[in-house]
Amino acid sequence: MSTSRSSSLAEDGAAGVRPGAYYGNGIPYLPIDGYPGKIIAIEGTDGVGRSTQISLLREWLEVQGYGVIETGWTRSELMQPTIDLAKGSNTLNKLTFVLLYATDFADRLEKEIIPALKAGFIVLSDRYIFTAMARAGVRGVDRTWVRSLYGFAIAPHQVFYLKIDEKTLIRRVLQSRGMDYWESGMDMKLADDIYESFRAYQRALLKEYTSMADEFGFRVLDARRKVEIIQDELRRQIGAFLAENDTSAGKEAE
Ligand SMILES: Nc1ncnc2c1ncn2[C@@H]1O[C@H](COP(=O)(O)OP(=O)(O)OP(=O)(O)O)[C@@H](O)[C@H]1O
Ligand SMILES: [Mg+2]
């Protein structure tokens, strides 16, 4: 399915969209022009280390006086119980899956992200629409259609992609919390056992993310390195961006 709008996400990609603006038609009743807040997204696959980096970033930003909120998938009050229920029943059709996630994002956009941008906060987003696109892509949902679906989303100011290889990821996940059903893509019936399924599913996901890096201008970070090294690089790039935009936006009013 394609769209005739010239400003759609599918047609312009990140390059044609100003950070902080809607990718496509947006939410027509919610103009966001001139809002001082910033969206900083940390993307990456399951277990790569996003939460670890986000909690360190939050602390660092708050010490400097920035107001910070965190947002992440399936955390919307409206959709969390429904998504949990659908995952639990394991009868989820792939299109329904995509639409439930999009609804979760729409709810958080309207109730959390946009109000925070208006108030000059930094929104630290634990994954953004790209994870939804990757998961849909590997399940065979039309990529152009998914991109136009997310035309209501706002282009982040910075997107960091924590890039990892399959082998390091497996080691990290096994050392921490193990593999779960959905992270292993068991719904896709790629393999009988969870280990093989995790490997095949994550390999496909990593390929999807990689192919989106140029399309959406990801800042790619090597996630195989130590936590502190990755954090230093994030702070350097975010710090430079905020310094450029400072005085007018970002800092909480004194
Ligand atoms: N750079 C790193 N090197 C080694 N281990 C790491 C690194 N970053 C995080 N870890 C460890 O990997 C595990 C997963 O980290 P974390 O919870 O931050 O990942 P996540 O991407 O948020 O995962 P999830 O997809 O479950 O939300 C944790 O045990 C964490 O301590
Ligand atoms: Mg996490």
Higher-confidence position of 13 and 82: 82
Q: What tokens does 154 get?
A: 């706002």
Question: pLDDT at position 220, please?
Answer: 98
**What is the mean pLDDT of the segment spanning 121-127?**
98
What's the rounded Cα separation, in Å, for the pair 153 and 174?
A: 34
The residue whose CA has the least distance to atom 9 of ligand 1 is: 49
**What is the mean pLDDT of the segment spanning 85-95?**
81
- Asked whether residue 55 carries a pLDDT value surpassing 90, the answer given is yes
Roughly what angle, to the nearest 10 degrees, separates helices 194-216 and 166-175? Answer: 120
What's the rounded Cα separation, in Å, for the pair 3 and 37?
A: 30
- Asked whether residue 251 carries a pLDDT value surpassing 60, the answer given is no
CA distances from 124 to 11, 51, 177 (A): 27, 10, 23
**What is the mean pLDDT of the segment spanning 19-35?**
95
Q: Which residues line ligand 1 (CB under 6 A)?
A: 46-52, 172, 176, 226-227, 230
The residue whose CA has the least distance to atom 22 of ligand 1 is: 51
Q: Which of 45, 51, 55 to mutate to test the pocket of ligand 1 (most atoms within 8 A of CB)?
A: 51
**What is the mean pLDDT of the segment spanning 225-252?**
86
The residue whose CA has the least distance to atom 25 of ligand 1 is: 46
Do 136 and 146 contact (CB within 8 A), yes or no? yes
How confident is residue 247, by pLDDT bands cut at 50, 70 and 90?
Answer: low
All domains of the chain in start order, with CATH: 32-238 (3.40.50.300)
What ligand has the least distance to the C-alpha of 48? 1
Ligand 1, residue 226: give the atom nearest the CA. Answer: 1
Question: pLDDT at position 8, please?
Answer: 46
**What is the mean pLDDT of the segment spanning 9-19?**
63
- Give the three-class secondary structure for 192: coil
What ligand has the least distance to the C-alpha of 164? 1
* R_g (Cα) of the chain, nearest Å: 18
Q: How far does the centroid of ligand 2 lie from the alpha carbon of residue 43, in Å?
A: 11
The residue whose CA has the least distance to atom 28 of ligand 1 is: 176
Q: Which of 172, 182, 198, 234 to mutate to test the pocket of ligand 1 (most atoms within 8 A of CB)?
A: 172
Question: How does DSSP assign 52-97, residue by residue?
Answer: HHHHHHHHHHHHTTB-EEEEETT--TTTHHHHHHHHHHT---HHHH
Residue 158's nearest CA partner among 14, 3, 9 is 14
The residue whose CA has the least distance to atom 8 of ligand 1 is: 49
Q: How far does the centroid of ligand 1 lie from the alpha carbon of residue 124, in Å?
A: 17
How confident is residue 86, by pLDDT bands cut at 50, 70 and 90?
Answer: confident
